Amino acid sequence: MMTPAVIARVMLIAFGAFLVAVPWLIPVILNKFWVSVIAEIMIWSLFAASVNLLFGYIGLLSFGQALYFGFGMYGVAIGVATLGLSFWPAFGLGIVASIAIALVSGIFAVRLTWHYFAIITVVFSLIFYFFAVSVKPLTGGDDGINFALPPTFSIGGVTGSFSDANFQYFFILATVALCFFLMHRVIRSPLGKAFVAIRDNDVRAALIGLNVYQLRLIAFVMAGFLAGVAGALFAFFGRYASASYMFYHVSGEAVVWAIVGGAGTLFGPVVGTTLFIVIREIVSTHWEHHAFIVGAVAILVVIFAPKGLVGLWNAELARWSERTNDASVKTKLRTEP
């Protein structure tokens, strides 16, 4: 029977199959350029997922995730360009740097909630943005750092490198998929349930014995990790890092992508990011003012689908299955989607 769960599984498999087929399929039906657009969408989806982990699952709206993205990015760029590291140590440096800064800023930030949390996260990211702009010798400021890409690995005679477009695509796909899988496991775990309990009512969560502060800090560091991986991947993808990616507009875009796609759903950020980047890519070839359309779409979605596109889809699916099941099953147990 076609229950929502079966439909979701079929769609997930179809989506996975599509992503694997992209490097061969897309050049045939569109052109090669769109393969790299899809790779970019995956990276930004991961970044939006870090906003979603905080806002959608533990109820903290961070407006400063660009800071951790930026640390991931600069970790890689400084690692390769200044310290002369090879691929994996640089990747590791980017991730460790973003986790470390997420931990340090999280210790302060998660003491606050709601408006105050949103504002202190943006303040922290602005402090480091201005810092990165001013210490030009280290960061290159707004111009950024360009670097030559080291090979990812070479075992025997086989070398894998981002200069091979297919290798680059699959490396990004594998890393992003792994992160989403980890996030899915966390959300399904007792830890994830505790996050949701805090999101829904933090006082009640504290009363049943959850350490709210500690759990918020854990979620914050996890979100910093996701944003850091996205930033590190983006540095490898663009062979470049720049302070402009730490500005609050970048954080704001991720918030928009996550909420428009559907906060509190695993694939919401993917849907939102895809929508906006595809609009950008299509419209910008015809009309330079694509941001106008992006703004209008963001407003229309929050007016007509306040739970985001995935939320809208889930609601429609639930209504549809209720109608088809009503005849046979009278009593239905509502479980969390």
Partner 1 sequence: MDTLLLLAMNGLIWGLIIALIALGLSIIFGLLDIINIAHGDFFMVGTVLAWFTLELTGNFWVAFLAVPLIGFILGALIQRAVIQPIHNVAALSIVATFGLSLILQEGVRITFGTTPRRILPPIQSTFHMFGIDYEIYRLFAALVSLLALAGFFIFLHRTKLGTWMRAVRHDRETAIAMGVPAQRVYVLTFGIGFALAALGGVVAAPITTVEFRTGVDILPFCFMAVIIGGLGNLPGTAAAAVLLAFLEGIIQSFADPTVARISSLVLMSAVLLVRPQGLFKGLTK
Residue 86 or 113 having the CB closest to partner 1: 113
Instruction: List Cβ neighbours of 166 (8 Å cut-off, separation of 6 or more).
Output: 23
Side chain identity at residue 118, one-letter code: A
Instruction: List Cβ neighbours of 321 (8 Å cut-off, separation of 6 or more).
Output: 2, 3, 4
The least CB distance from residue 162 to partner 1, in Å, is 32
Contacting residues toward partner 1, per CB under 8 A: 55, 61, 63, 108, 111-112, 114-116, 118-120, 122-124, 126-127, 130-131, 133-134, 248-249, 252, 255-256, 259-260, 263, 289, 291-292, 294-299, 301-303, 306
The least CB distance from residue 304 to partner 1, in Å, is 8
Structure tokens at 130: 């201005």
Query: Can you spell out the DSSP letters for 109-124?
Result: HTTS-HHHHHHHHHHH
Residue 100 or 283 having the CB closest to partner 1: 283
List the alpha helices (DSSP H) in the chain.
Answer: 4-29, 33-58, 66-81, 87-109, 114-134, 136-139, 165-188, 190-200, 202-207, 212-238, 248-261, 268-286, 290-304, 308-326
Residue 168 or 251 having the CB closest to partner 1: 251
Could you give the C-alpha distances from 76 to 39, 83, 94, 273, 290, in angstroms and in order?
18, 10, 5, 24, 31
> How many residues appear in the chain?
337
Instruction: List Cβ neighbours of 156 (8 Å cut-off, separation of 6 or more).
Output: none
Residue 169 or 248 having the CB closest to partner 1: 248
* Cα–Cα distance measured from residue 257 to residue 234, given in angstroms and rounded to the nearest whole number: 17
The least CB distance from residue 27 to partner 1, in Å, is 32
Side chain identity at residue 159, one-letter code: T
Residue 228 or 264 having the CB closest to partner 1: 264
Residue 230 or 243 having the CB closest to partner 1: 243
Residue 231 or 308 having the CB closest to partner 1: 308
The least CB distance from residue 256 to partner 1, in Å, is 5
The least CB distance from residue 60 to partner 1, in Å, is 11
Give the CA diameter of the chain. Answer: 70
Phi and psi dihedrals of 265, rounded to 5? -120, 145
The least CB distance from residue 47 to partner 1, in Å, is 16
The least CB distance from residue 247 to partner 1, in Å, is 8
The least CB distance from residue 113 to partner 1, in Å, is 10
Residue 70 or 79 having the CB closest to partner 1: 70
Instruction: List Cβ neighbours of 5 (8 Å cut-off, separation of 6 or more).
Output: none
